[in-house]
Amino acid sequence: MNPFTLNIKGNLCEYTRPLVMGLLNATPDSFYAGSRAQSDAEIAARAARLVAEGADIIDIGAFSTRPGASEVSADDERARLDNAVRIVRSVAGDAMPLSVDTFRASVARSAVENCGADIINDVSGGNLDPDMFDTVADLRVPYILMHMRGTVADMMEYTAYEDVTRDVLSELGDRLQQLALMGVNDVIVDPGFGFSKTLEQNYRLLHDLRLFGLLHRPLLVGVSRKSMITRLLGVGTDDALNGTTVVNTLALDRGASILRVHDVAAARQAVDIYMATETDK
């Protein structure tokens, strides 16, 4: 990977090795039970584990994006997320960057302004809330721009690509240009594995991952225990850690800057082994 910087609360942080982003889902129905934390005590315990395992960033969500998940109102999502961010901050300390996983601009604004979140992680790439880009520009926080077509409910109806890699790159590039015109340059790109992509398309993106360097932005890869692994290997979510580690290692070798994972310790080992092979580190 190429070194990159993120502006975290006015501090320009430089990163010369891949980061591990640990997931915490303040939801009852996220697809992997191991990431769920609903009560205050469960949230605190999950946060403490992520810190102990060596997470560089903690990503907090309060709206499940798995197919068939229950709809959550903006008010309920905001209440869940604000509470979780405050708890995680108290456990993880002020130095830990906290990311909030939401496609709603008002929810993101509350988490940043009222609770001290540092990064906005938007699975819709600004497509589901017309106010998101303006909000990011106003808040001046790093923004994770993920590729997805459609909505969480119907995204798998939008898998008709002429060339999946070329089309995803083009669509992300268009959004990056919009953000740049608004003065937003602190952007991380995410190809959106599993979102509006078939099994074959996911692996084509993984094969072509080096091409995302053309966007000249840090690259986030989130494949942890997803169906692209479980379906290919014929295993359940609980048995998908080994497959996840293999895919993460391939992603690192192809330029990934950030791994978004349920299992921080395993991902950190993958990063350590990858870095040991880098002769120019």
Highest mean pLDDT among 25-39, 180-194, 266-280: 180-194
Question: What CATH number does residue 77 fall under?
Answer: 3.20.20.20
If one compares 209 and 10, the residue with the highest pLDDT of the two is 209
Look at residue 132 and tell me whether its pLDDT is greater than 70: yes
For residue 10, is it within any domain?
Answer: no
State mean pLDDT over 270-276. 97
* pLDDT reading at 127 higher than 60: yes
pLDDT, residue 199, reads: 97
At 220, is the secondary structure helix, strand, or coil? Answer: strand
pTM of the model: 0.94
Q: Is residue 93 part of a domain?
A: yes
Structural domain of 111: 17-275
Which residue among 175, 254, 260, 268 is the active-site one? 260
Residue 89 pLDDT > 80, yes or no? yes
**Looking at the predicted structure, is the pLDDT value of residue 280 above 80?**
no
Task: Give percent of the chain above pLDDT 90.
Answer: 88
Which residues, at least 6 apart from 156, have a Cβ–Cβ distance to it below 8 Å? 67, 196
Q: Which helix (H) or strand (E) holds 23?
A: strand 19-25
Model confidence over 223-251: pLDDT tens digits? Answer: 999 999 999 999 999 999 999 999 999 99
| 120 assigned to some structural domain | yes
Report if residue 108 sits inside a domain: yes
1 falls within a domain: no
Q: How many domains would you assign to the chain? A: 1
Average pLDDT, the chain: 93
Active site residue 17: no
In a domain, 11, yes or no: no
Residue 175 has pLDDT above 90, yes or no: yes
Residues 16-40: what's their mean pLDDT? 81
Quick check: is 80 catalytic? no
Q: What is the pLDDT of residue 1?
A: 81
Annotate 158-189 with DSSP letters as a single string: ----SSHHHHHHHHHHHHHHHHHHTT---EEE
Is 281 part of any domain?
no
Stretch among 6-20, 32-46, 83-97 having the lowest mean pLDDT:
32-46
Q: Tell whether the model's pLDDT for residue 68 goes beyond 80.
A: no
Indicate which residue of 149, 226, 254, 268 is catalytic: 226
Quick check: 160 pLDDT over 80? yes
Q: What's the mean pLDDT in 135-141?
A: 97
pLDDT band at 28 (very low <50, low <70, confident <90, very high): confident
What's the pLDDT band for 259 if we cut at 50, 70, 90?
very high
What distance in Å separates the CA atoms of residue 87 and residue 95, rounded to the nearest whole number?
14
For residue 98, being part of any structural domain is answered with yes
Two structure tokens written together for 244: 């996840």
